[in-house]
Amino acid sequence: MNARAVLALALLAAAPGAQAGRSCERRLPDSRSVERAMTLAEHTAQRLDASGAQVVLLARVGQNLSEYGQRYSHVGIAYRDTPGAPWRIAHKLNQCGTAKAAVYRQGLGEFFLDDLYDYEAGLVVPMPEVQARLLPALRDNRRLAQLHTPAYSMVAYPWAQAYQQSNQWAIETLAAAQEPSISTRPQAQAWLREHGYVPDTLHLSAFQRLGARMTAANVAFDDHPNAKRFTDRIETVTVDSVFRWMGRSGLGGAVTVVR
């Protein structure tokens, strides 16, 4: 994805098909869902304002992942240029359940209008020095696109580059912003390893893997080491693992829940 493609970031409202891992079935949202999403956006904005931060990791509950011990499904990087300015979220979205994805910018309202499973947000405020390094990257289309891989898998292996899922893009972008010498995904992944990031392991049987691969274009397992996937251990970047790592590494604070 080049810098010109990322210029579409601010135009997501004109591209309703760019939804994280969802189909492009067109249906009008019911008024109750819209009301709840807008209320969550308002409450989140208030909490973000009160944080005094300029950059925050922001997550939503788009799917029910409790079967895998996970709460949040998707994380983006919320930011604003100056106090009082509107919050924007830079994040990667899967396009209509296909094997492709792109990076976008959205407002808080749009971020929470994505057919949520539960109306809850989770946020982690990075340390001030982490924010200071991230903010210029979030303003720069070229830097947002630098580590983006369009090929998408919901369960992309954290230490490979064939695919890239949304949470993976977020922490690789965070890593690249912290170290000016990073210009490739392998370098960003090496930084994450060095700073103690540990992915979560999902236990998926061969039957589950086969079913997912046959019915979903946005799921692939061929980037995972055989020794792990053939023993039902699928490692991937989850929001919960990112939040735990931010606190454990000293890069960020505790998780704040907004409902």
- Residue 164 above 60 pLDDT? yes
Collect all residues with Cβ–Cβ distance below 8 Å to 50 and sequence separation of at least 6: none
Q: What is the CATH number of the domain that holds 58?
A: 3.90.1720.10
Domain that holds residue 250: 3-258
pLDDT in tens, 76-105: 999 998 888 999 999 999 988 889 999 999
The DSSP letter of residue 67 is G
Euclidean distance between CA atoms 259 and 245, whole angstroms: 23
State the pLDDT confidence band at 259, using cuts at 50, 70 and 90: very high
Q: How many domains does the chain have?
A: 1
**CA separation, residue 104 to residues 120, 180, 235 (Å):** 21, 23, 26
pLDDT in tens, 13-28: 223 333 444 445 566 6
pLDDT at 208: 62
Question: What does the alpha-carbon distance between residue 174 and residue 177 come to, in Å, rounded to a whole number?
Answer: 5
Q: What are phi and psi of 247, to 5 degrees?
A: -70, -45
Predicted TM-score (pTM) above 0.85 = yes
How does strand 118-124 pair with strand 101-107? Answer: unpaired
Which amino acid does the sequence have at 81?
Answer: D
Percentage of residues in the chain having pLDDT higher than 90: 72
Q: What percent of the chain has pLDDT over 70?
A: 85
Phi, psi (rounded to 5 degrees) for 257: -105, 135
Residue 211 has pLDDT above 60, yes or no: no
3-state secondary structure of 19: coil
